[in-house]
């Protein structure tokens, strides 16, 4: 089941074309000259600058959004008034942030008469898919004696698609034509009136009902041209072998009558509207099941943290990609020297990684300086570590002192096997007694 609550068909299921059609085309291409590569890399560098500063802007905005959202949720948690079992809105709660748990009430069901579908719910979604031709393109470059050749392959197969596929733009549209219009459109019906413990389900609350459940029925529709397989209605002659232009329909509902939900919102008469906090954020929360206001706000804080880290990662990735585009010019300059190119590419990639991490941490730190100065200072120190670490180890061999060279000279004749004459030996013994031998050496007797 996808995020909309509608099931996807698996590969090899009924109606899938297991034998795609292939079409290839080969085109000769001369490798770009050195100056053409320089011009292309300069354009890429300009794009990299935009991506780099876009990543910085995203991270700066994300930190402010995360802090303000956390403050709004903390304020809402302290201001929420829990209602035990409200049967009707109380006037004394007007303008206050209230929380309660109740069951949805939908007096009139939503229907699709042609398919025999009827369900009492706030929303009923109809999803329509058409069996169509699809083109997939893949290319590879082959080095030849005359230069480069680009081989492009076009793969054609049939599958179910939610939207129309324009077959006129195919490389080979012959025998791959798709219809120009959909005979039936997808849509979402909404109940005109729905209640929640005496409160009207407003448009803002309806937008929070996003969890759809597939509608399953065992009753065949009255129209015999429509075939039911599982929970999908087919408009075709043969379910196992549909034709191009055949459609299938599936239904799903959200906010079924009798479902228990927990809400947090501002009471205005018999309506629940978003509550505006002191920092301008709006709070209108809805969760399925019986949940306390502490549980709801804890889930929202957890979701806020997850979104914050996801956007931080996206911002860092943008800065890294931007730096990689900026350094593409250097790769072009050394492209004629393969060995140098590989060494430079490795060093530039490491440098881009270190700088992007440092810039991301610095951006987060500067953002936090406005809200929590101590945390911001710690993050600034952490931001400097990758660059300092790289500089320290890159210059370690240059600045590391070498040990002094020691040369030991053996005294001449000290270890000779022949002894001196007696007279010379006596004179030598006297001189040796007057001057002690060098350190670490012994005088033979």
Q: Which domain holds residue 167?
A: 21-30+107-256
- Give the range among 119-128, 132-141, 199-208, 416-425 with minimum mean pLDDT: 416-425
Buried b (16+ CB within 10 A) or exposed e, 320-351: bbbbbbbbbbbebbbeeeeeebeebeeebeee
Dump pLDDT digits (tens) for 38-79: 676 778 888 888 999 999 999 999 988 998 999 999 999 999
Record the pTM.
0.71
Cα separation, 137 vs 154, whole angstroms: 5
- Reported as a pLDDT band with limits 50, 70 and 90, residue 215 is very high
To which residue do tokens 């996206």 refer?
A: 314
Which is higher by pLDDT, 422 or 123? 123
Q: What is the count of structural domains for the chain? A: 1
Residue 98 in this model has a pLDDT that exceeds 90: yes
Report yes or no on 272 lying in a domain: no
Q: Residue 127's pLDDT is what?
A: 96
Among 165, 130, 127, which Cα is nearest to 245's?
130
Dump pLDDT digits (tens) for 244-295: 999 999 999 999 999 999 999 999 999 999 999 999 999 999 999 999 999 9
Report yes or no on 226 lying in a domain: yes
Report yes or no on 316 lying in a domain: no
Buried b (16+ CB within 10 A) or exposed e, 77-90: beebeebeebeebe
Cα separation, 84 vs 87, whole angstroms: 10
Q: Residue 172's pLDDT is what?
A: 86
- Reported as a pLDDT band with limits 50, 70 and 90, residue 445 is very low
Dump pLDDT digits (tens) for 140-153: 877 766 666 778 88
Cβ-proximal residues to 134 (8 Å cutoff; 6+ apart), any chain: 156, 157, 158, 159, 161, 165
Cα separation, 256 vs 213, whole angstroms: 9
Distances (CA, A) of 36 to 33, 148, 248: 5, 16, 51
Dump pLDDT digits (tens) for 376-431: 677 667 766 665 665 565 555 454 555 555 555 555 554 444 455 555 444 555 54
Residue 313 in this model has a pLDDT that exceeds 90: yes
Report yes or no on 132 lying in a domain: yes
DSSP 319-385: HHHHHHHHTHHHHHHTTT-HHHHHHHHHHHHHHHHHHHHHHHHHHHHHHHHTT-HHHHHHHHHHHHH
Cα separation, 202 vs 223, whole angstroms: 36
Cα separation, 429 vs 1, whole angstroms: 104
Residue 434 in this model has a pLDDT that exceeds 60: no
């Amino acid at each position: 089941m996808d995020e909309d609550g509608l099931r996807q068909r698996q590969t090899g299921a009924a109606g899938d074309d297991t034998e795609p059609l292939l079409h290839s085309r080969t085109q000769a291409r001369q490798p770009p000259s050195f100056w053409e590569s320089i011009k292309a890399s300069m354009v890429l560098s300009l794009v990299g600058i935009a991506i780099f500063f876009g990543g910085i802007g995203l991270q700066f905005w994300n930190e402010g959004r995360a802090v303000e959202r956390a403050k709004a949720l903390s304020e809402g948690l302290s201001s929420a008034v829990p209602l035990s079992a409200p049967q009707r809105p109380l006037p004394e709660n007007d303008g206050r942030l209230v929380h309660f748990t109740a069951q949805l009430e939908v007096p009139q069901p939503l229907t699709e008469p042609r398919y025999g579908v009827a369900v009492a719910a706030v929303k009923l979604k109809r999803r329509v898919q058409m069996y169509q031709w699809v083109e997939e393109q893949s290319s590879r470059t082959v080095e030849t004696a005359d230069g480069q050749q680009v081989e492009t392959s076009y793969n054609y197969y049939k599958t179910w698609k939610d939207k129309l596929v324009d077959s006129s733009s195919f490389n080979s549209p012959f025998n791959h034509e798709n219809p120009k219009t959909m005979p039936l459109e997808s849509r979402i019906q909404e109940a005109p009136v729905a209640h929640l413990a005496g409160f009207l389900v407003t448009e803002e609350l309806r937008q929070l009902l996003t969890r759809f459940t597939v509608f399953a029925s065992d009753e065949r529709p009255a129209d015999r041209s429509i075939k039911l397989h599982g929970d999908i209605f087919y408009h075709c002659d043969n379910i196992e072998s549909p034709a191009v232009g055949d459609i299938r329909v599936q239904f799903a509902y959200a906010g079924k009558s009798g479902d228990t939900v927990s809400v947090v919102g501002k009471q205005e008469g018999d309506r629940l509207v978003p509550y505006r906090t002191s920092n301008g954020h709006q709070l209108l929360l809805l969760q399925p099941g019986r949940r306390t206001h502490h549980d709801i706000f804890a889930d929202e804080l957890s979701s806020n943290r997850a979104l914050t880290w996801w956007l931080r990662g996206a911002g860092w990735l943008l800065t890294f990609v931007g730096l990689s585009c900026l350094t593409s010019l250097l790769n072009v300059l050394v492209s004629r020297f393969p060995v140098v190119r590989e060494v430079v590419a490795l060093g530039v990639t490491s440098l881009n990684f270190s700088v992007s991490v440092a810039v991301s941490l610095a951006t987060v730190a500067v953002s936090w300086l406005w809200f929590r100065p101590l945390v911001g200072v710690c993050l600034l120190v952490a931001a400097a570590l990758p660059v300092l670490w790289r500089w320290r180890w890159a210059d370690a061999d240059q600045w590391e002192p070498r040990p002094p060279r020691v040369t030991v000279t053996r005294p001449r004749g000290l270890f000779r096997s022949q002894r001196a004459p007696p007279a010379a030996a006596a004179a030598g013994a006297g001189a040796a007694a007057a001057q002690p031998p060098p350190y670490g050496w012994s005088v033979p007797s």
